[in-house]
Structure 1
Amino acid sequence: MTSLHPFHRPLGSTGLMVSPLGLGTVKLGRDQGVKYPNGFTIPDDTEARQLLAMARDLGINLIDTAPAYGRSEERLGPLLRGQREDWVIVSKVGEEFEAGQSRFDFSPEHTRFSVERSLKRLETDFIDLMLIHSDGNDVAILQESGVLETLAELKQAGKIRAFGLSGKTVEGGLLALQQGDCAMVTYNLAEQGEKPVLDYAAQHGKGILIKKALASGHACLGAGVDPVRASFELIFGHPGVTSAIIGTINPLHLSHNVATAAAVISSLS
């Protein structure tokens, strides 16, 4: 079985070592208001446990969740019991998802509340990486809400190991890397507008996580071209990229993604 264990790499200067693919868990907690080409059923606990065990066996140690992912955090707490040292956990602050709607709050008070709630739900004393879940107004959030300063204080207090932004703009990504540890950036075959953020990260030793790596499952190319391979060649061909978050609940897709990522990274090294 192909494993990503040999390809673990540092997440910028955070001291965290992560697999080049991370498991996104929106589908463990929420099936409303998600932009996927096909409907899906939220996995039950047995299926979720099997998926997590398989990811771990495949050498994935990075797991991505958020309060906005419905019940994802509160399910992961019990599902990951006894495995805390096996996982690098990424969660978020700023976006809440209630009654089918997102709402945003980047205030220091809500940020502290959200982090404490995530610690409780995930049954852990610290979260490895906390990202600001942007609504698109990246620069205003970073400069005016107090969220960055609050996350820096929570890092000092040991509640989080590192922080950054899951943003939507080049300006936001650059600002987050100047003041924080990591940016989560959209970068795929269809969208490469945020590439300057990757370039900056490569030059300054900061962490980059890629979201929508496979264009939320919409990656389609010409006949005979494997869209997953082409996506990973683009992503891992950039020296600024640390890891790509893949939000699959399909074991076959997961093992194919891992085998393809391993083959691509091997061919690039």
Structure 2
Amino acid sequence: MEMRPLGRTGISVSLLGLGTVKFGRNAGMKYPRDFDLPDDGAVIALLEEARALGVNLLDTAPAYGVSEQRLGALLPGRREDWVIVSKAGEWFEGGQSRFDFAPDAIEASVHESLRRLRTDYLDAVLLHSDGEDEAGDRFLPAAERLERLKRQGKLRATGFSGKTVAGGLHMLDHTDLLMVSYNPGHRDEAPVIAAAARAGRGVLVKKALASGHAADPAAALAEIAGLPGVSGIVVGTLSRENLRANAAAVMPQGGR
């Protein structure tokens, strides 16, 4: 698996990352089919498969139900073998999302993530946007609190998981990395990826397979892997076969 720098953070991530929302939440999702949460054995087998493929990047969040708790309890290998990216600002409770970007709420969220994941540091924490990105200044106090937590050693990098071009561009100067949506049916945020590359920021891509609706997953992943500035592509799955296929799709042509 190709490893890429996460901007200037000093962190190297696998080009393919594993999204873990399906480890902990199956309500309020946009996937084409319903699914049951996997048992512990299935989670461990998938994580072991990821490790065997060279995947070190794991994406989770407090809004992903019990994903963080399960990773904390079941993650194989050494902590330093993995790059764990979590988020702050969104919680999923009672069937709906709740958002709070007050600095104290962000700090409390980080400490809860550390507890659930059974670790003393997170590799990155991203502000989990509510979509009102154009009013970008409203996120700055939260971003400053994340920066303070980074100085305290609680996290290695700060980030912003946005939903608009304006939001991503606005937060570019206030975080170490951005998470953007990109797939063949949604290329709107390409300018954010390009701007981040020029600024030396890391870029993680979400929605690469359009939440399971991509017509040609391999082609979608190959396209994104070829974009200058992309550090990692986060794709969620519960299937070891799909994980292997996704890993093959991001390999250089000569390695297939």
Q: Shorter chain as normaliser: what TM range?
A: over 0.9
Q: Percent sequence identity over matched residues? A: 53
Is residue 58 of structure 2 the alignment partner of residue 69 of structure 1? no
Alignment of 1:132-143 (within 5 A): 132-140=127-135, 142-143=137-138
Is residue 22 of structure 2 the alignment partner of residue 27 of structure 1? yes
SS of the residue 2:204 aligns to: strand
The corresponding residue for 2:237 is: 248
Alignment of 1:31-50 (within 5 A): 31-50=26-45
The corresponding residue for 1:231 is: 220
SS of the residue 1:190 aligns to: coil
- Bigger Cα displacement from structure 2, 16-25 vs 135-144: 135-144
Gaps of 5+ in 1: 221-226
Superposition RMSD in Å: 1.5
Inter-partner Cα distance in structure 2 for 1:266 and 1:210: 22
State how many pairs are aligned.
256
Gaps of 5+ in 2: none
Cα offset, 1:265, TM superposition? 8.6
Contact 1:232 1:264 in 2 (8 A): no
Cα 1:46–1:114, aligned 2, differ >3 Å: closer, same or farther?
Answer: same
The corresponding residue for 2:92 is: 97
TM-score, normalised on structure 1?
0.92
Cα 1:266–1:163, aligned 2, differ >3 Å: closer, same or farther?
Answer: farther
Contact 1:176 1:182 in 2 (8 A): no
The corresponding residue for 1:57 is: 52
Inter-partner Cα distance in structure 2 for 1:237 and 1:266: 15
The corresponding residue for 1:258 is: 247
SS of the residue 2:123 aligns to: strand
The corresponding residue for 1:159 is: 154
Cα offset, 1:141, TM superposition? 5.1
Is residue 184 of structure 2 the alignment partner of residue 195 of structure 1? no
Is residue 159 of structure 2 the alignment partner of residue 170 of structure 1? no
